[in-house]
């Protein structure tokens, strides 16, 4: 009897184990959604197991048979779900029904209640597997077997109580724990299967991940928290030229990071290492084994262990060396283009400026020429007109005197203009130099005051001169002529542009410099012209059209003179109220003066001595009739024998005829044969002759050229008798007694 119980128990246990294996191997093998067919098949397999259990009973208590159907069917409901469990319930119930007997309905009730409780537990406590699942299983086991106890009500009434009494103990202490144990077994299998699957998935994903890491141009590394290399992929080795051995367990920062980046990167990684779930992106270079630098864009993840500690860094780096190089070339190109653009802009600006300058100078030249032609024509008309009038008979002595005065005045005005033009030309050609000598500034001021007093008085203006320079400091070392020219020009302008009020000029002693001023209460200068009036040509534009005289060159010459002496000039003026010109000059000019050419310079004159030159023969070649006549006259007056011709060819002809000509005075610009050509031929005919050029040029180069190649000396036009005599005397000293 006892043996059969043990056998039945073993049988039940093995059936339950088979049931558990069925669960592990066919149900949870893969976690996929199972098909209806599978569920039905499993339902029938379970039914088979259930039927076997129903037939594997044992009799613990006489008259009452036991089996583990309640355990198996409730656990089936909990683990297999509706379809398989319902099939199980139906099939086993039918089998039990056909088995018949007194316990028929109780047996069916136990099957239905166990399966239903299992299913209800599954659906109403879906998370029972998490957390305290053992308590859940125990609770369900109690519920199932309480229900089983209740099922005794389906027995014939007289057997109910007796049966309940007999099964109470096994239900509480065998069936309920058995349900718990089977549940635990199933859960473990479930977990094992899940773990296996998770591992499988992990392996697969690891494999995939490794495939990704090893494929393509991506470097992947895993570093320990101290920077030691734990893993690196082949691509890193490939591009850096290291072997796996050379890299493994070495410090990433020491091996791959350029020295200049090391400190910064190390700090960044070490600081961020402590930050939870830190992810960052950055770009930095690494060194290859040969020292070449490669540029990478990095995606770094700071790894955190289960215990929430830093377990290192995983970085993925994309090689962007090529794009960086390209970027650099692009940047360089852009920079070059930008520089080029700047240069072009500058060139454009310069071109624009040059264009504007050219236009301006063209405009000014036209204005200058118009002004010049007016300034020259006016006195010329005066000279020619009144010279014509002088020819008339019956002129009274007073009229003749008046006409001659006008001619002389016009001549002076012409000369002034020509002097201005020559001065400007010399300044522009850089030929104007300083002639420094001692000069008493107070005497100069007084002289100017005295000189202009009558002119100022004629206009009824108040005229004053101030000097705060003491007598001891009045003697300075300067270019006297230029100081005189500057002051004269400014006072002349003041007179010219003032109709009523006053003119005041003076000098202030400012230690190393003297400050001069010329002030008037005249018409004033428009504000926008103040800057322009000192510029060359600009002042040629007539600001005040009502005042006729003046070529507009005075102030630019004045400014040039002031600056040559190391001073500055400025003007303050208000329309209608007057102007004040101020200029400074140093008390002592240090530069050693170089004598400069000046048309009107008063050089020591040598008085002509006609008696000493009786035998001297001079040829004058000049195409301008009046000049020819004039020169002939003055030379004849000095007692020379003069031959006048109007071209170079005639001069040459004359030299062939008269062998003892002493001097040839040749004009440079003559028709048919110019001075150069004539000089060459004359010299070939007469080697002792002195040839002197007359030229309108004043350029230093011209002089040198003429002297060395063609002429012995030269005279500037208009030729002044004193200069002419001086040169003649220089070359014919033997004739001077
Ligand atoms: P200009 O022969 O025309 O006087 P300047 O070079 O001496 O030539 O002067 C340039 C211009 O400056 C003059 O045309 C005139 O308009 C203005 N200017 C010079 N001095 C004075 C002044 N004292 N008062 C008013 N305008 C003046």
pLDDT value at position 592?
Answer: 41
Q: Give the span between the Cα atoms of 537 and 167, in whole angstroms.
A: 137
The band of 395, judged by pLDDT with boundaries at 50, 70 and 90, is confident
Is 533's C-beta closer than 6 angstroms to any atom of ligand 1? Answer: yes
Neighbours of 386 (CB within 10 A): 19
The C-alpha angle with vertex 278 and arms to 277 and 279, in degrees rounded to 5, equals 115
Would you say the CB of residue 553 lies under 6 angstroms from ligand 1?
yes
The tens digit of pLDDT for each residue in 690-718 reads 999 887 665 555 556 655 677 888 887 77
CA-nearest residue for atom 25, ligand 1, is: 524
The atom of ligand 1 lying closest to the CA of 555 is 6
User: What is residue 649's predicted lDDT score, i.e. its pLDDT?
Assistant: 87
Do 528 and 515 touch, CB atoms closer than 8 A? no
Q: Are 594 and 433 in contact (CB under 8 A)?
A: yes
Please compute the mean of the pLDDT values over residues 281-286 and round it to a whole number. Answer: 88
Mean pLDDT along residues 416-428: 81
Residue identified by tokens 């006053």 is: 502
pLDDT, average across residues 597-601: 30
Mean pLDDT of all residues in 155-170:
85
What is residue 716's three-state secondary structure? strand
By C-alpha distance, which of 512, 517, 493 is closest to 569? Answer: 517
Q: Does 539 sit in the ligand 1 pocket, CB within 6 Å? A: yes
Q: Is the dihedral of CA 155, 158, 161, 163 positive or negative?
A: negative
Q: What is the mean pLDDT of the chain?
A: 83
Locate the ligand 1 atom nearest the alpha carbon of residue 523 and give its number: 25
Q: Is the dihedral of CA 206, 211, 214, 220 positive or negative?
A: negative
Which helix (H) or strand (E) is 296 found in, with range?
Answer: strand 293-304
522 lines ligand 1 (CB under 6 A): yes
Using an 8 Å Cβ cutoff, are 71 and 178 in contact? yes
DSSP letter, residue 671: S
CA-nearest residue, atom 19 of ligand 1: 493
For residue 494 and ligand 1, the question of a CB distance below 6 A is answered with yes
Contact 382, 410 (CB under 8 A): yes
Contact indicator for 73, 50 with CB cutoff of 8 Å? yes
> Residue 511 in 3-state DSSP?
coil
Ligand 1 atom closest to residue 542's alpha carbon, by position in its atom list: 14
Q: How far is the CA of 552 from the centre of ligand 1 (A)?
A: 7
Residue 27 near residue 79, CB atoms below 8 Å: yes
Nearest atom (ligand 1) to Cα of 551: 2
Distances (CA, A) of 191 to 139, 184, 186: 21, 10, 9
Spatial separation of the C-alpha atoms in residues 292 and 283, rounded to whole Å: 16
Q: Max Cα separation, the chain?
A: 193
Give the position, in ligand 1's atom list, of the atom nearest the Cα of 549: 2
Q: Which residue has the tokens 């239900």?
A: 171
- Whether the bond into 718 is cis, omega within 30 of 0: yes
Phi, psi for residue 335 in degrees, rounded to 5: -60, -45
What is the reported pLDDT for 3? Answer: 61
3-state SS class at 470: coil
CB 317 within 8 A of CB 331: no
User: What is the distance in A from the centroid of ligand 1 to the CA of 570?
Assistant: 13
- CB neighbours (10 Å) of residue 387? 14
Query: Which of 493, 522, 557 to mutate for ligand 1's pocket (most ligand atoms within 8 Å of CB)?
Result: 493
Cα angle, residue 429 at apex, residues 491 and 559 outer, rounded to 5°? 25
CA–centroid distance, residue 360 to ligand 1 (Å): 20
**Quick check: CB of 578 below 6 Å from ligand 1?**
no
Residues 346, 347, 349, 354, CA torsion sign:
positive
The predicted model gives 16-45 an average pLDDT of: 82
Length in residues, the chain: 737
Instruction: Say if residues 558 and 489 touch (Cβ distance below 8 Å).
Output: yes
- Who has greater pLDDT, 594 or 565? 565
Strands (E), 468-554: 475-478, 502-510, 513-520
Structure tokens at 174: 């065998």
The pLDDT assigned to 115 comes to 95
Distance from the alpha carbon of residue 443 to the mean position of ligand 1, in angstroms: 26
- CA nearest neighbour of 667 among 624, 726, 605, 618: 624
At residue 606 the predicted structure's pLDDT band, cuts being 50, 70 and 90, is: very low
Q: What percent of the chain is predicted at pLDDT more than 90?
A: 32
Report the separation in Å between the CA atom of 568 and the middle of ligand 1, taken as the mean of its atom positions.
Answer: 18
Look at the pTM and tell me if it is higher than 0.75.
no
pLDDT tens-digit readout, 447-503:
999 989 999 999 999 999 999 999 999 998 888 889 999 999 999 999 999 999 999
492/489 Cα distance (integer angstroms): 5
pLDDT band at 536 (very low <50, low <70, confident <90, very high): low
Spatial separation of the C-alpha atoms in residues 76 and 117, rounded to whole Å? 10
**CA nearest to 535, candidates 690, 404, 368:** 368
C-alpha distances in Å from residue 5, one per residue of 12, 57, 66, 101: 10, 8, 9, 21
What kind and span of H or E run contains 65?
A: strand 64-66
pLDDT for residue 601 is more than 60: no
Q: Whose CA is nearest to atom 12 of ligand 1?
A: 533
Strands (E), 411-544: 437-440, 462-467, 475-478, 502-510, 513-520
Secondary structure element (H or E) that encloses residue 208, with its range: helix 176-214
Provide φ and ψ at 702, rounded to 5°: -60, -45
Q: What percent of the chain has pLDDT over 70?
A: 89
Instruction: Find the mean pLDDT for residues 512-539.
Output: 85
DSSP 600: T
In angstroms, the CA 596 to CA 560 distance is: 15
648 touches ligand 1 (CB under 6 Å): no
More confident position, 318 or 307: 318
In angstroms, rounded to a whole number, what is the distance separating the alpha carbons of residues 608 and 152? 175
Supply the pLDDT for residue 608: 38
pLDDT in tens, 353-370: 888 888 877 777 777 777
What is the C-alpha to C-alpha distance for residues 535 and 560, in angstroms, rounded to an integer? 10
Spatial contact of 15 and 49, defined as CB atoms under 8 Å apart: yes
| Separation between Cα atoms, residue 434 and residue 517, nearest integer Å | 22
* Backbone conformation region of residue 102, classed left if phi is above 0, alpha if psi is from -120 to 50, else beta: alpha
Whether the predicted pLDDT of 731 surpasses 60 = yes
Q: Tell whether ligand 1 has an atom less than 6 A from the beta carbon of residue 110.
A: no
Residue 146 Cα to chain centre, angstroms: 90
Ligand 1 mutation pick, 525, 532, 536, 540, max ligand atoms within 8 A of CB: 525
> Does the pLDDT value for residue 521 go beyond 90?
yes
Q: What is the distance of C-alpha 392 from the center of its chain? A: 81
Ligand 1 atom, smallest distance to 557 CA: 6
Residue with tokens 């149900």: 27
């Amino acid at each position: 009897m006892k043996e059969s119980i043990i056998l039945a128990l073993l049988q039940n246990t093995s059936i339950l184990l088979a049931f558990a294996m069925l669960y592990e191997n066919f149900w949870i093998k893969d976690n996929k959604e199972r098909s209806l067919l599978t569920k039905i098949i499993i339902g029938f397999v379970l039914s088979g197991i259930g039927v076997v259990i129903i037939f594997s009973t044992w009799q613990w208590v006489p008259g009452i048979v036991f089996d583990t159907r309640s355990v198996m069917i409730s656990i089936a409901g909990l683990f297999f779900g509706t379809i398989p469990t319902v099939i199980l319930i139906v099939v086993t119930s039918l089998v039990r029904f056909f088995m018949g007997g007194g316990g028929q309905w109780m047996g069916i009730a136990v099957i239905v209640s166990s399966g239903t409780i299992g299913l209800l537990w599954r659906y109403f406590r879906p998370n029972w597997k998490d957390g305290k699942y053992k308590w859940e299983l125990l609770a369900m086991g109690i519920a199932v077997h309480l229900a089983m106890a209740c099922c005794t009500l389906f027995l014939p009434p007289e057997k109910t109580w007796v049966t309940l009494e007999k099964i109470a103990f096994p239900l509480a202490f065998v069936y309920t724990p058995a349900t718990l144990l089977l549940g635990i077994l199933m859960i473990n299998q479930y977990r094992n299967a899940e773990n296996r699957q998770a591992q499988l998935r992990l392996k697969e994903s690891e494999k995939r991940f490794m495939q990704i890491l090893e494929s393509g141009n991506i470097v992947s590394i895993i570093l320990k928290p101290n920077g030691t290399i734990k893993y690196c992929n082949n691509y890193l080795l490939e591009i850096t030229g290291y072997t796996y051995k050379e890299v493994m367990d070495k410090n990433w920062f020491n091996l791959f990071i350029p020295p200049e980046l090391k400190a910064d990167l190390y700090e960044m990684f070490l600081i961020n290492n402590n930050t939870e779930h830190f992810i960052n992106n950055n770009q930095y270079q690494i060194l290859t084994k040969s020292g070449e630098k490669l540029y990478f864009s990095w995606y770094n993840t700071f790894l955190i262990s289960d215990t929430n500690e830093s377990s290192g860094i995983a970085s993925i780096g994309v090689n962007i060396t090529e794009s960086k190089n390209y970027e650099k070339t692009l940047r360089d190109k852009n920079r070059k283009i930008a520089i080029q653009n700047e240069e072009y802009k500058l060139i454009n600006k310069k071109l624009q400026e040059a264009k504007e300058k050219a236009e301006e100078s063209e405009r000014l030249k036209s204005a200058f020429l118009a002004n010049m032609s007016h300034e020259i024509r006016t006195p010329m008309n005066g000279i020619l007109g009144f010279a014509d009038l002088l020819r008339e008979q019956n002129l009274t002595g007073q009229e003749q005197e008046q006409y001659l005065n006008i001619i002389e005045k016009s001549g002076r005005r012409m000369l002034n203009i020509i002097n201005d033009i020559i001065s400007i030309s010399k300044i522009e050609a850089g030929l104007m130099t300083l002639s420094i000598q001692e000069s008493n500034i107070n005497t100069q001021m007084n002289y100017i005051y005295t000189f202009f007093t009558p002119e100022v008085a004629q206009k009824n203006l108040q005229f004053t001169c101030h000097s705060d320079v003491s007598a001891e400091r009045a003697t300075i070392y300067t270019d006297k002529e230029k100081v005189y020219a500057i002051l004269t020009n400014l006072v002349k302008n003041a007179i010219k542009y003032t109709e009523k009020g006053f003119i005041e000029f003076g000098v202030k002693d400012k230690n190393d410099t003297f400050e001069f001023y010329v002030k008037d209460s005249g018409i004033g200068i428009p504000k926008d012209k103040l800057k322009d009036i000192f510029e060359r040509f600009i002042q040629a534009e007539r600001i005040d059209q009502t005042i006729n005289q003046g070529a507009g060159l005075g102030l630019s010459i004045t400014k040039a003179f002031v600056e040559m002496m190391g001073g500055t000039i400025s003007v303050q003026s208000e329309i209608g109220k007057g102007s004040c010109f101020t200029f400074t000059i140093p008390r002592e000019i240090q530069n050693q003066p170089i004598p400069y050419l000046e048309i009107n310079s008063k050089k020591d004159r040598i008085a002509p001595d006609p008696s000493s030159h009786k035998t001297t023969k001079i040829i004058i070649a000049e195409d301008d009739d009046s000049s020819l006549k004039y020169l002939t006259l003055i030379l004849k007056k000095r007692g020379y024998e003069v031959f006048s011709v109007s071209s170079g060819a005639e001069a040459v002809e004359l030299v062939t005829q008269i062998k003892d000509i002493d001097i040839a005075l040749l004009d440079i610009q003559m028709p048919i044969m110019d001075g150069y050509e004539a000089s060459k031929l004359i010299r070939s005919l007469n080697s002792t002759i002195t040839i002197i050029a007359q030229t309108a040029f004043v350029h230093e180069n011209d002089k040198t050229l003429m002297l060395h190649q063609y002429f012995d000396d030269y005279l500037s036009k208009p030729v002044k008798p004193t200069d002419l005599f001086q040169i003649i005397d220089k070359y014919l000293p033997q004739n001077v007694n």
